[in-house]
Structure 1
């Protein structure tokens, strides 16, 4: 698990992988959360993280049990 780092290429790759996984297993498989807007897509939300300090969590998919589920939460 990786925490507290600036969003960059690694995160874009992780979120891209999570987005692909989301298409396969449904909307709850991949999440990116920002206090600003709950309705945007993962790709739109991750763009909002550019320059933010974020905490990333890697979780197991509830559908297939793999671990590409990324939750990014903006830190205050």
Structure 2
């Protein structure tokens, strides 16, 4: 992928903010999302980021390790 995609960049930025803020996200971040995405897209993005974060938290809590295939 050689082209810069602003929407992907904003989505990744949101995921990074979510990870660092642990859900305490300012209104200005959501305003940026609203300027870029539809309400449905914002909902999907939030659900995906929250679900992925929860999966990582669960794996860490259970001390799960990737299956090694040699």
In the superposition, the TM-score normalised over structure 2's length comes to 0.28
Larger RCO: 1 or 2 (CA < 8 Å, sep 6+): 1
Higher helix share goes to which structure? 2
Higher strand share goes to which structure? 1
In the superposition, the TM-score normalised over structure 1's length comes to 0.27
